[in-house]
Amino acid sequence: MAIDVLLTGFEPFAGAATNESWEAVRGAAPRLREQGLEVAAEELPVEFGPAGDLLATAVREHHPRLVVAVGLAAGRHGITPERVAVNVRDARIPDNAGASPVDDPVIAGGPVGHVTSLPIKAMVAALADEGIPGSVSQTAGTYVCNDVFYRLQHLLATDASLVGIRGGFVHVPDAAVVDAATASRALTRMVLVAWDTSTDLRRPGGAEH
Catalytically active residues are: 82, 145, 171
Q: Are 171 and 73 in contact (CB under 8 A)?
A: yes
Q: How many CA atoms lie within 13 A of 9 on its CB side?
A: 24
CA distance 53 to 8: 13
Q: How many CA atoms lie within 13 A of 74 on its CB side?
A: 8
Cβ atoms within 10 Å, residue 105: 14
Rg (CA), the chain: 16
CA distance 79 to 18: 18
Reduced to 3 states, what is the DSSP secondary structure of residue 145? helix
Q: Are 151 and 107 in contact (CB under 8 A)?
A: yes
